[in-house]
Structure 1
Amino acid sequence: MSALLLLVTQTSLSGDAPLNPAAAKPAFAQARQLCEADHGQLWGISLCGPAMLVDPATRDVIASEKDASGVLHAADGVFAGSLPKDVPVANTSVSWSGTRWIQYLWPLPDDDALRRVLLAHESFHRVQDQLGLAAANADNPQLDTLEGRYDLQLEWRALAAALQAHDDAARRAHVADALAFRADRYRRFPSARAAEAALERNEGLAEYTGVMVGMPTASERQAMALRDLQRHVHDQSFVRSFAYATGPAYGLLLDNYRPGWHDEVRHGAYPADLLAKSLGLSLDKAPSSAKRAALAARYDGKALWAAETRRQQERDRLIAAYRSALISGHVLVLPLRHPRVQFDPRNLVPIGANGTVYPTMQASDDWGHIEVQQGCLLASDWSWLTVAAPSGEEGSHISGPGWKLELAPGWHLAKGSRAGDMVVAKSD
């Protein structure tokens, strides 16, 4: 399989303002102002670059520059047109029509601070390959377990306390607690270290960049890092969104304790490991059960455990329903070779070795395009996608419970490996 293009989407916070040149130009100006103010200081490279605003409902696009293929036309100082269906639409970076673009979903957040962070965050994604920080988004199913979620949220609370500490001794103590909760998670889930670091070196560093470049003062950066730690607590799932919370916190603490850490990360180091090393701590030594309980008590661990236990019971019922629909029931299997995927990183449901359920998704591959609104199962190795068996077919337009598929020419539905199953296959 060729390299995968993984894209994540986040819900816009603003209203229904139409996308037009008059609305787009201030956004492009603000993005350029931010990157020019940074002047390449943070990462040693300019974050400025071609940008586009895309309305996900209509695929209308307004860009800061013309495209190489001439798809976009000049419109009052910017360039407008419509994105082809095979071009992913998300808050991300995308290569299209001869250009590597910063792509923003329209409308942008109304909140000025969140908008500035978003503008700088996505700018990082355009240059991260040049920095040796190629995007990698490993699954983190441990963060959908009772123990994994508990440790992560205790870690977040300790990080928040560290950022707000009034003296160095208190700050170091809270950092030690945060790293102890992380070490406990690493002990329980041996694959967590590399998997979590992969997302932290991608979305975590991007969000840290957003905070550093988007916020003009140290106090505003601290406030935004604290805001990130708080606003992701209510995500339905942490498996793909946790790094948006940890990235700025670890980055700001590293700025304090390990100046120059950016070069180490570019050469493969993990942010949490660097912070532990800087303070003479080790993520290889997990706390005892008694020690973990004592540490948790400092951060209202008893109430958190009770809430997470209730959540897990509800989650078990949801997983059972997904297993019935997408594993034991009749299904349609779509092989993945060159996938282009959009999804919400806050609502994923890992279901063990079978993969992860994405409640909503848009995916394109050689076989065409599918839109899912009621759940699909993605294999852990991204080799296939499964939805409930089809219920309707009109030529190349196939549909089923909560999904619609448009087949590309030369593809058809064939019998699957189990009676009642189907698979998308290439025609002879």
Structure 2
Amino acid sequence: MPLSGQNAHLDTFEGRIWLRLEWRALSRALAQSGEDRKRTLGDAAAFRLKRRSLFGNAAENERVEEIREGLAQYTGIVVVADSRADAIASTIEHLAAAEGHETFLQQSYAAGTAYGVLLDDASADWRRNVRSNSDLGQMLMAALNVAPAADAVEASARYGGPEIRSAEQTRAEQRRTRERELRSRFVDGPVLLIPSGGGTTFNAVGATPIPGVGTVFVLPCRVKGEWGTLEATNGILVNDDGKRRLAGPIRIEGINIRGEGWTVMVASGWTVRPGPRSGDYQIMREP
């Protein structure tokens, strides 16, 4: 999955706060009807707009995930639900589970699922009108003629905003410590640089973005590309441009390169050469 679709802003302090508030408002709206639902959706819209105003490209990146993953989850929920009430209950549970994730990377689709279920009540033929560039939140607000609440900060108090902010402050302090540790391993220390390319999707559970560099994924992964294959069990940094970094120290044994928790086998036609810094190595095509 391309990094642009991972919504790294949703793992920031403010990004997480306003996403959690939107999810909570959507969950409450699902349990309501009529004017109560519309008022609550006005709060959800305000939280959504507030978050997107803080980060460039946030609306586009979130929208892509809501369409691609959110509607897939929506379909799964409504197909297996025995009733409308079951579909609503499942969606509320889905939102609560999303809020409990350690990281919100690739989690923005949860809102898309909720918007789909809410659109079922608001517009009978909404699915026919969904396009690749649609925004499900805008579709719902337009169908119900809902305007965002005037003051997102004031509205946040109705959904535990101060408590969320306090909890996120604690988490942010812990994440800064973790980020410093990962930066020392994958940025400041010696690394093996691997070209982009190769078919794999990195699991975002436990992932940590390093601003201006990329994202460290910690779950075991296997990547195969024209340059060779790699297996990592102790973390891999995927740069914003798609290139990968494995932390040193590095041992070169013919076509096999090894480090703590990872192994790379270099393909024919490729070679390992010193990298741009002392102690770094990089996989390159043979001249």
TM-score (norm 2): 0.92
1:312 and 2:172 matched: yes
1:199 and 2:65 matched: yes
User: Deviation at 1:424?
Assistant: 0.8
User: Deviation at 1:156?
Assistant: 0.7
- Tell me how far apart the structure 2 counterparts of residues 427 and 390 of structure 1 sit (CA, whole Å): 23
Equivalent residue for 2:7? Answer: 140
Task: List aligned pairs for 1:291-302, cutoff 5 A.
Answer: 291-302=151-162
- Tell me how far apart the structure 1 counterparts of residues 193 and 250 of structure 2 sit (CA, whole Å): 14
Equivalent residue for 1:226? Answer: 92
Equivalent residue for 1:396? Answer: 255
Offset from partner CA, 1:125-151 (integer Å, 9 cap, x none): xxxxxxxxxxx9613121111111000
Task: List aligned pairs for 1:89-238, cutoff 5 A.
Answer: 138-165=5-32, 167-238=33-104
User: Deviation at 1:374?
Assistant: 2.3
- Tell me how far apart the structure 2 counterparts of residues 172 and 282 of structure 1 sit (CA, whole Å): 9
User: Deviation at 1:302?
Assistant: 1.4
Offset from partner CA, 1:30-66 (integer Å, 9 cap, x none): xxxxxxxxxxxxxxxxxxxxxxxxxxxxxxxxxxxxx
8 Å contact from structure 1 (residues 254, 261) kept in 2: yes
8 Å contact from structure 2 (residues 192, 250) kept in 1: no
Equivalent residue for 1:252? Answer: 117
Equivalent residue for 1:372? Answer: 232
Give the one of 414, 419, 425 matched to 2:278: 419
Equivalent residue for 1:326? Answer: 186
Change (3 A) 1:398 1:282: farther
Q: Output the amino acid matched with 2:44.
A: A
User: Deviation at 1:312?
Assistant: 0.3
Q: Output the amino acid matched with 2:175.
A: R
8 Å contact from structure 1 (residues 240, 348) kept in 2: no
Q: Which has the higher contact order (CA 8 A, sep 6+)?
A: 2
Equivalent residue for 1:276? Answer: 141
- Tell me how far apart the structure 2 counterparts of residues 224 and 410 of structure 1 sit (CA, whole Å): 52
8 Å contact from structure 1 (residues 241, 345) kept in 2: no
- Tell me how far apart the structure 2 counterparts of residues 202 and 404 of structure 1 sit (CA, whole Å): 33
Change (3 A) 1:251 1:140: same
Offset from partner CA, 1:135-194 (integer Å, 9 cap, x none): x961312111111100000111111100111x3111111111111100000111131100
Give the one of 130, 149, 154 matched to 1:265: 130
Equivalent residue for 1:386? Answer: 245
Equivalent residue for 2:205? Answer: 346
SS in 1 for 2:145: coil
8 Å contact from structure 2 (residues 5, 61) kept in 1: yes
1:239 and 2:105 matched: yes
User: Deviation at 1:282?
Assistant: 5.5
- Tell me how far apart the structure 1 counterparts of residues 253 and 80 of structure 2 sit (CA, whole Å): 49
1:335 and 2:190 matched: no
- Tell me how far apart the structure 2 counterparts of residues 267 and 146 of structure 1 sit (CA, whole Å): 29
Give the one of 261, 266, 272 matched to 1:407: 266
SS in 2 for 1:240: coil
Offset from partner CA, 1:65-89 (integer Å, 9 cap, x none): xxxxxxxxxxxxxxxxxxxxxxxxx
Runs of 4+ in structure 1 deviating by more than 4 angstroms, as ranges, are: none
Q: Output the amino acid matched with 2:138.
A: D
Mind listing any 5+ residue stretches in structure 1 that lack a counterpart?
A: 1-5, 8-135
Q: Output the amino acid matched with 2:177.
A: R
User: Deviation at 1:267?
Assistant: 4.9
TM-score (norm 1): 0.63
Offset from partner CA, 1:103-123 (integer Å, 9 cap, x none): xxxxxxxxxxxxxxxxxxxxx
- Tell me how far apart the structure 1 counterparts of residues 59 and 205 of structure 2 sit (CA, whole Å): 20
- Tell me how far apart the structure 1 counterparts of residues 20 and 254 of structure 2 sit (CA, whole Å): 49
SS in 2 for 1:423: strand
8 Å contact from structure 2 (residues 230, 264) kept in 1: yes
- Tell me how far apart the structure 2 counterparts of residues 267 and 373 of structure 1 sit (CA, whole Å): 36
8 Å contact from structure 1 (residues 162, 171) kept in 2: yes
User: Deviation at 1:266?
Assistant: 2.6
8 Å contact from structure 1 (residues 137, 199) kept in 2: no
SS in 1 for 2:69: helix
8 Å contact from structure 1 (residues 157, 299) kept in 2: yes
Q: Output the amino acid matched with 1:157.
A: R
Tell me how many residue pairs correspond in the alignment.
286
Q: Which one has a larger percent helix, Structure 1 or Structure 2? A: 2
Aligned-pair identity in percent equals 33
